[in-house]
Chains A and B, each alone.
Chain A
């Protein structure tokens, strides 16, 4: 659809969001990501039936854990959309980027220069 979305969003493809583990999300934050979001299929549409529901619970767990260690839980989010919703994908990317920009750089990052992303 050739829609634009912010270039700071790095995509990691998985066959199903059920593949995403708690440690994946935590490691991303630990290594300096300002925000992580899991984009899964619409609830009820999971090809593997419950993958996206498991991801939802894992994201909730990570949010709680981050809250307990003093990081903003809003840095990790779960979103549901259909693979056909190109416009919504770009919209989520824009919205999330704005929200994370408002939160500021992750307190975990050693370099706090805006615009520079940890690899």
Chain B
């Protein structure tokens, strides 16, 4: 999933400094799973903002709404009524950064702010801990590496083996980071496919990576 975390309170307080009435929108998708922008986190932030305001003897009116997802226009449409009936100074989105962009696109006259820093595509290691596992390169070849992604998990994204900085199974950049190539070697050895690491393969197709500009997928069979 997309993993994000809430921006520092100081930054959020600066964003809302001049506003009296805001709509705080959450998302029941990825950010709920990584405990960053779900219904609960919306409630917590709303309470924290109210405390910060009351401390200054000012008020802030915060409406809370958590959408199913903020990356499909059908769900963003659900904001039409609240936005039309209330005159919000701003809308704050606690979804990944796709959310505020969708809201801003749909409601062009509304100020939209991102509350989260969208960090990476990854998964949970344990309750409360998430790590990066995918860089969205567009041409997945992890099967050649025992289902471990060297692009993401190797600090240098090496495709041909470990560098000299691999020490006791850890990466030289951080003693807590596993050396991906150490993991790949161990996995391929366990699978009995070490010889595959020695075969010469074509260079990776990087045309599908973000380097060429924002990407788009079109499924003609699904278009209405």
Contact = CB atoms under 8 A, between A and B. Distances in A.
Contacts of B43: 23
B137 to A, nearest CB: 36
Given A68-B10, A69-B13, A26 B47 contact: yes
A110 B48 contact: no
B51 A71 contact: yes
**Binding site of B, secondary structure by majority: helix, strand, loop or mixed?**
helix
A119 B39 CA distance: 26
B50 interface: yes
B160 to A, nearest CB: 43
A59 interface: no
A69 to B, nearest CB: 4
Interface string B31-70: 0000000001001100111111011010000000000000
B40 A65 contact: no
A69 B9 contact: yes
B44 A107 contact: no
B51 A30 contact: yes
B9 to A, nearest CB: 4
B164 interface: no
A66 B44 contact: no
B44 A26 contact: yes
B55 A71 contact: yes
Interface in B127-158: none
Interface size class of B (residues with CB under 8 A): 10 to 19
Contacts of A27: 47
A23 B55 contact: no
A22 interface: yes
A23 B64 CA distance: 14
B47 A30 contact: yes
Contacts of B47: 23, 26-27, 30
A69 B44 contact: no
A115 interface: no
A67 to B, nearest CB: 9
Interface of A: 22-23, 26-27, 29-30, 65-66, 68-71, 107-110
Interface of B: 8-10, 13, 40, 43-44, 47-52, 54-55, 57
23 contacts: A22-B44, A23-B40, A23-B43, A23-B44, A23-B47, A26-B44, A26-B47, A26-B48, A26-B51, A27-B47, A29-B51, A30-B47, A65-B48, A66-B51, A68-B8, A69-B9, A69-B52, A69-B55, A71-B51, A108-B51, A108-B54, A109-B54, A110-B54
